[in-house]
């Protein structure tokens, strides 16, 4: 937190500097262009990996930090071998991107 109470990436100094550099092209909370509630930045990590990891890592809650690291590493190794699942995630992301384009950046229910 900065002295103005905002997290560092939203502090007055940072937002003023971004405005100096990028003018009205800054997309952020409390700026001329507000960051949308469902960001159009769509990646397989956002729509697949984090949920998949959580579902698989927490089937049995980890006991320690080392335990969670081990479980995450194991699940990533499993996923590396499952090319079909990764391919489906990427194809789903492409479908979402097409929907976003068709709606000209409007809300997409998925």
> pLDDT per residue over 51-82, tens digit each?
888 899 999 988 999 999 999 999 999 999 99
Q: Is the pLDDT of residue 1 over 80?
A: no
Share of the chain above pLDDT 70, in %: 67
Domain spans, the chain: 1-35, 39-110
Residue 79 backbone phi and psi in degrees, to 5: -65, -35
For residues 108 and 38, the answer to whether their CB atoms sit within 8 Å is yes
For residues 26 and 32, the answer to whether their CB atoms sit within 8 Å is yes
Q: What is residue 110's three-state secondary structure?
A: coil
Task: Give the pLDDT confidence score for residue 2 in this predicted structure.
Answer: 45
Average pLDDT of the chain, as a whole number: 77
For residues 11 and 2, the answer to whether their CB atoms sit within 8 Å is yes
């Amino acid at each position: 937190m900065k002295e103005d109470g905002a997290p560092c990436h939203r502090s007055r100094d940072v937002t003023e500097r971004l405005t100096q550099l990028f003018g009205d092209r800054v997309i952020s909370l409390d700026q001329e262009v507000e960051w949308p509630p469902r960001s159009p930045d769509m990646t397989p990590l956002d729509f697949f990996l984090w949920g998949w990891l959580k579902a698989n890592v927490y089937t049995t809650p980890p006991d320690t930090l080392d335990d969670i690291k081990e479980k995450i590493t194991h699940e990533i190794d499993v996923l590396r071998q499952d090319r079909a699942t990764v391919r489906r995630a990427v194809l789903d992301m492409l479908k979402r991107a097409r929907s976003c384009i068709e709606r000209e950046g409007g809300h997409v229910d998925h």
